[in-house]
Amino acid sequence: MMTYSILVAGCGDIGAPVAQAWQQDGQQVFAMRRGGIEFPEGVTGITGDLRHHDVQVWPEVDLIYLILTPSGRSVEAYQQAYLEGAQALIRAYQGRKRLPFVIFVSSTSVYRDETQEIDEFTVAEPDSETAKVLLATEQLLHAHLPSLALRCTGIYGPGRYRLIEQVHAGNPWGENRWSNRTHRDDVVSALMLLGQQALSGATLPPMCIATDEEPAPLWQVRKYIAEQIGAPVLQHDVVAADQGKRIRGQLLASLGWQPTYSSYREGYRQLTAEYLAAKVRN
């Protein structure tokens, strides 16, 4: 079996299971995290803000996952996390004889927020300043290193209870828009598949979309959650949404990827059960 060296730059909720899966596959795995020293067993951990690592701290690797998290929702926080993080990575590797392939976790927020159907052939025209930073980061990486941007729809999964908590609290549902989401575990499986393809020498597109198979009206999702946790259904007539993006990915499917959680129902069925169990324990 061929052995590769892999770096997960951002070993958190998504990066940790990716690092663990590659380590269990027998690969040499390095991982970076901003704070803390907890890393998956067998993974070589590097702690500290990657923007400030000396060049020699960055290991020689074949594949890099860049999974960054801003400290807030401001443009400045996005620039510090994404653009400055990518710049640090480029400084570390662009002069080396062996250039690693970089998979950058991005977002479908790079598409204009208007009522439309979106896939990988839709031109990215971000209308928020933070989304412009994400697109600029994608373009910067493409200009300097072999790379791919995985544009994810709204990521939910273990411990991500924000929408459930809103429904449980009886908060107003607001406008009914189309919503799109991806379970955390499906993001991980997409990253693993793309990494395997990159290491095999396959020709990959500059970006692809990770999303489940069913865009859904937000009221419909909230209604399902309410029924699962016994919360009030605030809007009884769940009409079709007439605003928002409906996002479908084609390229990952063409590589053989299938989400385990094909719609919000599969994902929130499990997540609401975990939420209720945690409420009982607490």
Query: What is the C-alpha separation between 156 and 31, in angstroms, rounded?
Result: 23
Amino acid type, 269: R
Could you tell me the residue range of the domain that residue 230 belongs to? 5-281
Taking the alpha carbons at both ends of the chain, their separation in whole angstroms is 47
Helix, strand, or coil (residue 248): coil
Identify the CATH number of the domain in which residue 58 sits: 3.40.50.720
pLDDT value of residue 279:
80
- Give the tokens for residue 33: 């995290």
Residue in 244, 87, 275, 256 with CA at minimum distance from that of residue 166: 275
pLDDT value of residue 255:
95
Give, for 111, the enclosing helix (H) or strand (E). none
Structural domain total, the chain: 1
Query: What is the C-alpha separation between 148 and 204, in angstroms, rounded?
Result: 7
Helix axes 184-199, 15-24, angle to 10 degrees: 50
Query: What is the C-alpha separation between 130 and 74, in angstroms, rounded?
Result: 7
Walk along the chain (282 residues) in steps of 10 and give the mean pLDDT of each run.
93 97 98 94 97 96 97 96 98 94 98 91 96 98 98 96 95 92 98 98 97 94 96 78 90 96 96 90 73
